[in-house]
């Protein structure tokens, strides 16, 4: 069998989105719609993927990051015209071309496989995926003959009152025999309500030639929802989120309230992790086993180990080791590496720092640009003074150092292994290992003060 090639249409502006961002770059569950479609095609066995870009071509190309071949449709003259742009790239291709729209992010791998398998089995020149929509407004309607064969697809704007009653719609997803597709596209005109070259017209052209055209009905219309507006976007988001949450629960993750748990499409979560409400796991985040996350926490691009506890935490672009406990009210900023069994308590901010195994930051710390060893104890209110108004400097804290409450470590500075810093010190010189640094004014007590005051 020749290899499956997929063409994804993603050149449209998406006028109805009322956005400066190309429609297909709007995200559902943290992933650009066009990437959702592309990933589904790839997972369904498509060996070559060509994305037709146009409006915001550079942005779309950048978002694809080399994951697909790209061809530009300079003017958006319709879906049929868009597919034609891929023809030069398909000169040597043989067999089946699958065409998908970049605005149908809910497609599943199973559905695409079913479409492809049934197309091959039927030996049709064209197979269209259809769905019964509760509200078919805006979609192309599937018009069937009395015998039940697909006769044509009529766009909403071109449809008669009677045709608009039809709830079976074109999902905008097809398989074509390549030669038949391009020979029919050459005949597609633009004499319609939108003055566009409609891809679905290929079906009636082929039918007119006596060729076999076929339809596959999706069992679940939700998989075929096309996103044309922000309202559709929110619907798609809700459906994908529900699907993702179901997947997590089926794989052994406890969600205290799935309706208020927000996990992006590509996030992995290990077994026996428990997620409390209002928790967001975003982007390239991964979570190990047996963690307790949330409530009210947000993790963006964070690698979380096993057995981590975090509540009321915002962490982004960082790593959190096994057994760490954090929260409430903690902010872990980019390029931070929190090691195994670290304890971070309330009102702590960590930025661009390494915190060694078992170290404790229990309350009210600012740790920025710091390399901290293992078993360090940071007293309440300790601060790394990392910025002189011009340049950032690093602080180094050795293993098992003990930094007393309300100390400032003015970087660049180091505190050696097993060293102590007295509470209330402002440290401006390195503290050698095993030494105690006291850097505060000596206390003087003045007797009989009330009398002296008078
Ligand atoms: C299209 C179908 C309609 C179907 C619906 C399913 C046509 C004419 N209509 O309508 O039958 O029910 O999808 O969701 O095909 N695009 C381009 N270049 C263009 C125009 C569009 O690349 O010149 C891309 C868009 O970026 C989008 C996709 O094609 O990803 C579909 O275009 P859109 O305008 O959303 O078509 P619909 O009106 O939804
Ligand atoms: Ca659409």
Q: What is the pLDDT of residues 90-129, one digit of tens each?
A: 999 999 999 999 999 999 999 999 999 999 999 999 999 9
Residues 151 and 278 in one domain: no
Residues 197 and 241 in one domain: no
Average pLDDT over residues 396-404: 98
Residues 117 and 239 in one domain: no
Instruction: Specify if 450 maps to a domain.
Output: no
Instruction: Specify if 454 maps to a domain.
Output: no
Range of the domain at 73: 3-224
Atom index in ligand 1 nearest the CA of residue 201 equals: 8
Count CB atoms within 10 A of the CB of residue 118: 17
Q: Is the pLDDT of residue 169 over 80?
A: yes
Instruction: Specify if 446 maps to a domain.
Output: no
Residues 220 and 252 in one domain: no
The tokens for 292 are: 């307790």
Domain boundary among 224, 250, 278: 224
Atom index in ligand 1 nearest the CA of residue 153 equals: 11
Residues 293 and 248 in one domain: yes
C-alpha to C-alpha distance for 318 and 344, rounded to whole angstroms? 15
C-alpha to C-alpha distance for 114 and 217, rounded to whole angstroms? 10
Nearest listed ligand to the Cα of residue 172: 1
C-alpha to C-alpha distance for 203 and 208, rounded to whole angstroms? 9
Nearest CA to ligand 1 atom 34: 12
Q: What is the pLDDT of residue 3?
A: 87
From 197, 187, 203, 184, select the one nearest 124 (Cα to Cα).
203
CATH at 309: 2.160.10.10
C-alpha to C-alpha distance for 407 and 193, rounded to whole angstroms? 73
Instruction: Specify if 53 maps to a domain.
Output: yes
Residues 402 and 346 in one domain: yes
Nearest CA to ligand 1 atom 8: 198
Structure letter (DSSP) for residue 46 = -
C-alpha to C-alpha distance for 103 and 12, rounded to whole angstroms? 10
Q: Is 8 in the pocket of ligand 1 (CB under 6 A)?
A: no
Atom index in ligand 1 nearest the CA of residue 77 equals: 23
Residues 188 and 257 in one domain: no
Residues 316/297, Cβ–Cβ less than 8 Å: no
Write down how long the chain is.
454
C-alpha to C-alpha distance for 61 and 45, rounded to whole angstroms? 22
Cα of 80 vs centre of ligand 1, distance in Å, is 9
Residues 149 and 249 in one domain: no
414 to each of 331, 393, 419, 427, 441, how far by Cα in Å? 24, 11, 10, 9, 21
Residues 215 and 135 in one domain: yes
Instruction: Specify if 202 maps to a domain.
Output: yes
Q: What is the pLDDT of residue 454?
A: 87
Instruction: Specify if 445 maps to a domain.
Output: no
What average pLDDT is seen over the chain?
A: 97
Cα of 79 vs centre of ligand 1, distance in Å, is 6
Residues 118 and 265 in one domain: no
Instruction: Specify if 452 maps to a domain.
Output: no
pTM: 0.93
C-alpha to C-alpha distance for 48 and 93, rounded to whole angstroms? 10
From 262, 305, 260, select the one nearest 287 (Cα to Cα).
305
Nearest listed ligand to the Cα of residue 33: 1
Cα of 172 vs centre of ligand 1, distance in Å, is 7
Residues 211 and 114 in one domain: yes
Average pLDDT over residues 417-441: 98
Count CB atoms within 10 A of the CB of residue 303: 16
Specify the DSSP element, H or E, that contains 50.
Answer: strand 48-53
335 to each of 30, 317, 320, 385, how far by Cα in Å? 21, 6, 11, 18
Beta strands in 192-296 (DSSP E): 213-217, 254-255, 261-263, 268-269, 274-275, 279-282, 286-287, 292-293
The tokens for 397 are: 């804290």
Residue with tokens 């910025």, as numbered in its chain: 387
Residues 252 and 344 in one domain: yes
Domain boundary among 224, 240, 260: 224
CATH at 198: 3.90.550.10
| Catalytic residue from among 156, 316, 331, 363 | 363
Instruction: Convert the pLDDT of each residue in 237-286 to its tens digit.
Output: 999 999 999 999 999 999 999 999 999 999 999 999 999 999 999 999 99
Instruction: Convert the pLDDT of each residue in 41-91 to its tens digit.
Output: 999 999 999 999 999 999 999 999 999 999 999 999 999 999 999 999 999
Atom index in ligand 1 nearest the CA of residue 155 equals: 11
Domain boundary among 179, 208, 224: 224
Average pLDDT over residues 439-449: 96
Structure letter (DSSP) for residue 262 = E
- The percent of residues in the chain predicted with pLDDT above 70, rounded, is 100
232 among known catalytic residues: no
Q: Which residues surround ligand 2, an ion (CB under 5 A)?
A: 103, 226, 228
Average pLDDT over residues 328-353: 98
Nearest listed ligand to the Cα of residue 57: 1
Instruction: Specify if 394 maps to a domain.
Output: yes
Q: What is the pLDDT of residue 1?
A: 52
Q: Is 103 in the pocket of ligand 1 (CB under 6 A)?
A: yes
Q: What is the pLDDT of residue 205?
A: 98
Query: Structural domain tally of the chain?
Result: 2
Residue from 6, 7, 12 whose mutation best tests the ligand 1 pocket (most atoms within 8 A of CB) = 12
Q: Is 155 in the pocket of ligand 1 (CB under 6 A)?
A: yes
Residue from 79, 133, 142 whose mutation best tests the ligand 1 pocket (most atoms within 8 A of CB) = 79
Instruction: Convert the pLDDT of each residue in 199-223 to its tens digit.
Output: 999 999 999 999 999 999 999 999 9
- The DSSP-derived string for 129-168 is EEEE-SS-TTSPEEEE-TTS-EEEEE-GGG--HHHHT--E
C-alpha to C-alpha distance for 140 and 154, rounded to whole angstroms? 5
From 414, 412, 410, select the one nearest 401 (Cα to Cα).
414
Residues 220/132, Cβ–Cβ less than 8 Å: no
Q: Is 382 in the pocket of ligand 1 (CB under 6 A)?
A: no
């Amino acid at each position: 069998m020749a290899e499956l090639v997929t063409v994804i249409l993603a050149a449209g502006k998406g006028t109805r989105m009322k956005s400066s961002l190309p429609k297909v770059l709007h995200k559902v569950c943290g992933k650009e719609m066009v990437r959702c479609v592309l990933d589904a095609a790839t997972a369904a066995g498509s060996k070559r993927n060509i994305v037709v870009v146009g409006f915001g071509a550079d942005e779309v190309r950048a978002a694809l990051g080399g994951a697909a071949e790209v061809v530009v449709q300079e003017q958006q003259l319709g879906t049929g015209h868009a597919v034609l742009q891929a023809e030069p790239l398909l000169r040597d291709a043989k067999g089946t071309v699958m065409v998908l729209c970049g605005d149908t992010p809910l497609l599943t791998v199973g559905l695409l496989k079913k479409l492809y398998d049934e197309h091959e089995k039927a030996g049709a020149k064209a197979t269209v995926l259809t769905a019964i929509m509760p509200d078919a407004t805006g979609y192309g309607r599937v018009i069937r003959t009395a015998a039940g064969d697909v006769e044509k697809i009529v766009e909403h704007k071109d449809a008669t009152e009677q045709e608009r009653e039809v709830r079976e719609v074109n999902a905008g997803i097809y398989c074509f025999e390549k030669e038949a597709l391009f020979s029919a596209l050459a005949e597609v005109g633009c004499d319609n309500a939108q003055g566009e070259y409609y891809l679905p017209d290929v079906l009636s052209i082929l039918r007119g030639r006596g060729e076999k055209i076929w339809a596959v009905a999706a069992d679940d219309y939700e998989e075929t929802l096309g996103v044309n507006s922000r309202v559709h976007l929110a619907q798609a988001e809700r459906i994908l989120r529900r699907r993702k949450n179901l997947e997590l629960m089926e794989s052994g993750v406890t969600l205290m309230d799935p309706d208020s748990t927000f996990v992006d499409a590509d996030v992995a979560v290990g077994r026996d992790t428990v997620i409390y409400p209002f928790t967001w796991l975003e982007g390239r985040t991964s979570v190990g086993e047996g963690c307790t996350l949330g409530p009210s926490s947000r993790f963006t691009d964070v690698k979380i180990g096993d057995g981590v506890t975090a509540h009321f935490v915002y962490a982004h672009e960082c790593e959190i080791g096994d057994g760490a406990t954090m929260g409430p009210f903690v902010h872990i900023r980019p390029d931070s590496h929190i090691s195994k069994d670290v304890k971070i308590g309330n009102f702590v901010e960590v930025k661009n720092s390494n915190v060694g195994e078992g170290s404790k930051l229990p309350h009210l710390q600012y740790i920025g640009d710091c390399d901290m060893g293992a078993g360090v104890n940071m007293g309440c209110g300790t601060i790394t003074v990392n910025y002189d108004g011009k340049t950032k400097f690093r602080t180094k804290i050795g293993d098992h150092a003990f930094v007393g409450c309300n100390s400032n470590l003015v970087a660049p500075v180091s505190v050696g292994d097993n060293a102590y810093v007295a509470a209330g010190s402002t440290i401006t010189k390195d503290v050698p290992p095993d030494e105690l640094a006291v850097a505060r004014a000596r206390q003087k007590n003045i007797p009989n003060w009330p009398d002296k005051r008078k």
